[in-house]
Amino acid sequence: MAVQTAPIPVSLPEEQARPNVLQRVFRSYVFRRLVKALATIFAVVTATFFLIRLMPSNPVEIFIQEQIAMYGMSYQEARDQASALFAIDLDAPLSQQYLEYLGNLLRGDLGQSYRSKGTYVADIIRQFLPWTLFSVGTSLLISFVLGVVLGMLMAYRRETPIDYALSTFASLVSSVPNYLIAIILLVVLGPQLRIINIASMRGSISPGVQPGFTLHFFLDVLYHAALPIFVYVLTTIGGWMLAMKSSTIATLEEDYVTVARARGLKDGRIMTSYVGRNASLPLFTQLAISIGFVFGGSVLIEAIFVYQGIGQQLIKAINQRDYPVMQGIFLIITISVIMANLIADLLYSRLDPRIRLGQGETK
């Protein structure tokens, strides 16, 4: 006669199966993304600190050579003047300089410029960053809206002359570097055709114009930012057009679009309420990432048009080896790019919950 035994429980006790609050926080998608973002910022800040100091020459030597070339000073005279200007000890161990930099950074102190004595790096960023935000941010918004509209038009007019013409235009402007288009515009519109006075467009505002909520000030700002904005729009709109065309074509083949047509809905409503909204969703994540590159993508354009933004200040700091200014601007660029990627990831995880659940997040 067989002996009956009690069944062995296969499920874990309830207190072991359910994670506590702390475990839920550690396993959450948002927490892991935040930790990854902070670790990336720390790694980039560290790499930037040491890479800058591996560059040939240093701010003292650059200053000495400038004084010799400009004023015919002897090396010793230029060195004495540099000693009076630069209250820094570049001979200190790198580890000591690095720890001091991290300590100041944790207190929110970006330091002072080596070349502009008494000028804080935070003040330089606060003064020039708004101009870059205005020019690149405006162009990004214009190119995105135009790209979405024209991309939908290309998808709805597939294999027509409009589609061929717009596709060729998008492919062409996407393949040409922005600095090359900027130089062509500068040469053709300025010295060759003399359509615009390039010299008067230098800077972010005209001399003597006072910032304020006046029409004269806004028109002057637009006048100086017109060429950089035009170049940014021209060189980025092609990517948005091609991406939107591809996304729209895929959306047009979805079943709910076929059902909407079968219900007899008008094309305008299908285009706006069904196709356009769903087709543009993937582009919003790309837009969030592109915003992060607003700060770093303006360096060459600002240098070509002598537009007084943060990119122009970065080039100036690199030429002078102004370490604190370089570190401060690189830090702003790094944080903006990483935060934009973080926002894009969180946004995409909301649109598609399989992403965060697939990486171990508990329900």
Provide Rg for the chain, Cα atoms: 28
Positions in the chain short of pLDDT 50:
1-3, 363
User: In this predicted structure, what is the pLDDT of residue 145?
Assistant: 92
User: In this predicted structure, what is the pLDDT of residue 17?
Assistant: 61
Rounded distance between C-alpha atoms, residue 25 and residue 154, angstroms: 46
User: In this predicted structure, what is the pLDDT of residue 147?
Assistant: 93
Residue type, 233: V
Helix %, strand %, coil % for the chain, to 5? Answer: 75, 0, 25
Name 112's bridge partners.
120
The torsion of the CA quartet 138, 144, 146, 151, rounded to 10 degrees, works out to 170
User: In this predicted structure, what is the pLDDT of residue 320?
Assistant: 85
Condensed to tens digits (0 to 9), the pLDDT of residues 155-200 reads 988 889 999 999 999 999 888 888 888 888 888 888 888 888 888 8
User: In this predicted structure, what is the pLDDT of residue 144?
Assistant: 92
Rounded distance between C-alpha atoms, residue 143 and residue 361, angstroms: 36
User: In this predicted structure, what is the pLDDT of residue 257?
Assistant: 84
Rounded distance between C-alpha atoms, residue 322 and residue 325, angstroms: 6
Q: What is the DSSP string of 19-41?
A: --HHHHHHH-HHHHHHHHHHHHH
Total-model pTM = 0.78
Q: Cα angle at 165 between 161 and 167, to 5 degrees?
A: 115
CB atoms within 10 A of CB 19: 12
User: In this predicted structure, what is the pLDDT of residue 351?
Assistant: 65
User: In this predicted structure, what is the pLDDT of residue 169?
Assistant: 92
User: In this predicted structure, what is the pLDDT of residue 230?
Assistant: 92
CB atoms within 10 A of CB 286: 14
